[in-house]
Every structure is written in structure tokens, then in C-alpha cells.
Amino acid sequence: MASGEFDLVIRGGMIVTPAGLVEADLGVTGEVVVAIGEKLGAGQREINAGGHYVLPGGVDPHCHIEQLSGGGIMNADTFETATRSAAFGGTTSVISFAAQHRGMNLATVVADYAALARKGAVIDHAFHLMIANPDRQTIEHDLPALIRAGHRSVKVFMTYDKVQVNDEQLLDILLASRQNGALVCVHAENHGLLKWMGERLVARGYIAPKYHAVSHPRAAEIEAIYRVIAFAEFIDQPVMIFHVSTAEGAEVIRQARGRGVKVFAETCPHYLFQTAEDLVLPGYEGARMICSPPQRTASDQAALWQALELGDLQVISSDHAPYRMDATGKFSASATPGFKQIANGMPGLEMRLPLLFDAMVSRAPEARKHENLMRFVEWTATAPARIYDLAGKGAIAVGADADLAIWNPAREVTLTDELHDNTGYNPYRGRKITGWPETIIQRGAVLIEHGTLHAKPGQGRLMLRQPGPATQPTGRLAPEFDPARNFGADLS
């Protein structure tokens, strides 16, 4: 191999940088981007990207990988299969969960998940600390130590019997996260509403998969988002609302951000491209589409796109939660289960970016393609990297990690069930899309080229994080926390 000025040069691609779209060469030395410009010197390896887009590798900050559900079901993917699938879909960084359950020690949980990822992950990864056992050991000792060690995000559920935290526990977690510098991510649905509706449906014999959508009233999301924002505003702790599915939920977030509350929010492709009608399938096929919160309506889709454009929602994640359509997954309780017995979740890691590229870029009017391409990169890579403090990720710039995806904007694909994860089905099979990530690079090394994976299990790195702007409180104390207004009480 001839020697060169750079280890790798990508020639003539249309590069999306934070400053805009530029047709240029990109030079990589070691693991980082070191040059963007015309007619760069030779590379030890060169890739011709003429007519292709060069985008930052995607950052998917909401993935359930090799995780035991609250119902005791292990999901379909290992770190190897999930991160392999992510890479084929153009994603080079993921944040999954170190999922504590009742009675578990949080520090042990994190060590166990880190060991699994160290063995299998082919791309870079981080963890949200999922708390379901908020005892004194967790809140006062393990959580602060793990946050300080670089795990700068926490996940809580406001529903599900075996993992939910109550209001007082949620306040404890918010305060501990504020004191130690972590973002709190929330599955926001009202537990009482879900339980009440589910029991009424089952008692009347409405148990087919389609009734899952009815069992999660939109009011459950709206109320829980309002409540967690009220708590976050009271504690002055930044929060991320996961998987917003309703127009009203987005409106509650808009109002809170308008009055200065530090709240971030995401949605997912299944809320942008599917509705509750997608659960109406023959037999038990609707089980493929069961996720929580459920898909809603076409008007909700329009409202969520608008909320993204307005900045009320900042991120599109996959919420990858894979369960096979067999006794190991969706049908673990029975071959003929009711909707309440079917594991919640769908695969999404591989399809997230191609679906969005097709919708936002390929199908956009010519006058909007550039603007939409910038938004695509912002919502799927740059914003999640910025909010979750993933240094060097999510944008193409000199000094950034050379995590890159070279997209063929003309490639047409009809989706099938053949993905690279271990789920066995694709919720979007039959859909025709245009635009595909063909060459994937992480930290300067080619991961995928010509449909072949060139990565070994375990080569992905654990990303430990320093606290950034998203985790910082606003400094606006509620009267009850302000010694000047609470008769001198120190409650911090």
C-alpha cells in the first residue's frame, strides 16, 4: 500500500457539516477527521464518494439491548446482533440500558451490562442507568458514584408494575441526578389509567392485539408528561421525555419550554410512519406492531413533525425493543395470548435512518432537500450527541471522531423481513424507500462496505461522559427550595 498524507481520504462526496453542505474531500488520520477541503493529498486508502452524501454516523440514544423486560422476558438481540444491525442502518453510536430490577444492586447491574457489551458490541456505546429499585443504597451511594464515573443519564418508568417508581421515589431520583450531574429520561404514562383500561377491556373479552392501542389512552401520556415536568420544574432538574406519541403531549412540552423549563423530548419512527390501524392485522400478526406507547393517528403524526420543526422535540430515536414472533418473545405467555400478555416492542435500530432519509430527503421537494438533509442529521445524530454529552460524535468537523456513513441517494430498496438483528421480522416490510447507507466507518476504520461487515464483536468502545450543558440546572429555585423564601431551610 502506498504511503500517503492521510490514513483515509473520502473523495468528492457531498459532506454535511454543522456549517452546511459542501462538496469536498475528507481526510482522516488515526481515528479523527483532520481535514475537509478540495484536492486533499493522498490517502493510504481512498474511497470515491462522488454523487453520494457523506454524513455523520447516526447516534441512537434509546435502544433496549440484551435486556430483561419488566415481565421477565429477554429481548431478542445480543450486543453483537443489535449493534451489527445498527451499523448496517448507518448508526455508529448507541445508548442502551443497564436495567435494574427490584432487589438488584445498581453497580452490579452496570458491571454486568458493560461486560456483555465489551464481549459483543461492534460499535461505540453508552448506558442509561435504569432505576427500578430506588432504595437508599441506590439513591445515596451507587447512583452518585456511577454518575461521577461517566454514566450521565438515568431512566425511570412511571408505569408497569415491576419497574415503575412512585412520585416520592421519582422526586428522590430527580434530586440525586441534579446533585451529581445527570439527565433524567422518563417513560411518561399514567399507571392507573393504563391498568384501569386494560382490565376493563380484558373483562369484556377485547383481547386481540389491536386493543393494545385502546388500552393506552392518550390521556395517560398527557397527564404523566405534565406531572414529570411539574416535578422537574420544582426540583430544577433537566429531563428528557421519551417516545412522545401524541399531539397533546408535544403541546405540554412546548408550553413548558416556553416558560423556561429545561425539558428535552424525542419521538420515534413508528409514531411518524404508523398509526393504530397498523395493529389491525389477521390473527395474531398485529403482535408485530405492539409497542408502548402505541401508535396513534395521522393527525398526531402531523403534530409530531411540526413539533420537531419547531424544536419542541429534538431527537428521533428508534426505541429498539426486539422480541421474536415465537415462544421466546411475543408469544412467551401463550400461543394465543391476549394483548396484555404480548411483549411490548419492535425492532428499529436498522430501519430508523433509511426510513427517515427516504421521508425527509428523497421525497422532499427539490427546494427543501438541503434544509431537510440538515434536519435529518440534526435529529438523528447531532442533537442526541449534544444532549447526551457524547464527545466527538454526531457531526463531521475537524477534530471529531471519524464516524461516517456514505449514503447512495439513488439506491431504491423494497424492505423485507431480512434485517441484521435477531428479531426475524421488519415492521416496515413491503415499503419502498430511496436512499441507503452503503459504506460505514467508525473512528476511521471501515465497518461495512459492499454489504459486508468488517468488524469484530467487542471492538466497540464504552463511551463515558462528562457533564455538559444539557445536564446543568437552570438555577431557578422553586420558592420552597430557596432559603431566602423558605425561612432559611436548606433542602438541597
**CB neighbours of 34 closer than 8 A, spacing ≥ 6?**
6, 27, 28, 398, 399
Is the per-residue pLDDT at 137 higher than 60?
yes
Is the per-residue pLDDT at 1 higher than 50?
no
Residue ranges per structural domain of the chain: 58-358
Rounded distance between C-alpha atoms, residue 343 and residue 428, angstroms: 19
Bin 445: left if φ > 0, else alpha if -120 < ψ < 50, else beta: beta
197-238 pLDDT, tens digit each? 999 999 999 999 999 999 999 999 999 999 999 999 999 999
Rounded distance between C-alpha atoms, residue 122 and residue 103, angstroms: 31
Looking at residue 288, what DSSP letter applies?
A: G
- Mean pLDDT of all residues belonging to the chain: 97
Judge whether 41 and 5 are in contact, CB under 8 Å: yes
267-289 pLDDT, tens digit each? 999 999 999 999 999 999 999 99
Looking at residue 61, what DSSP letter applies?
A: -
- Determine the 3-state secondary structure of 11 from DSSP: strand
347-371 pLDDT, tens digit each? 999 999 999 999 999 999 999 999 9
The predicted pLDDT at position 231 comes to: 98
Judge whether 7 and 40 are in contact, CB under 8 Å: no
Is the per-residue pLDDT at 400 higher than 60?
yes
Is the per-residue pLDDT at 2 higher than 50?
no
Average pLDDT over residues 71-99: 96
Closest C-alpha among 208, 217, 427, 198 to residue 339:
208
Strand duo 432-442 + 404-414: pairing: antiparallel
CA dihedral of 155, 345, 334, 324, whole degrees rounded to 10: -120
pLDDT band at 250 (very low <50, low <70, confident <90, very high): very high
pLDDT band at 491 (very low <50, low <70, confident <90, very high): confident
Residue % of the chain over a pLDDT of 90: 97
Q: What is the CATH number of domain 58-358?
A: 3.20.20.140
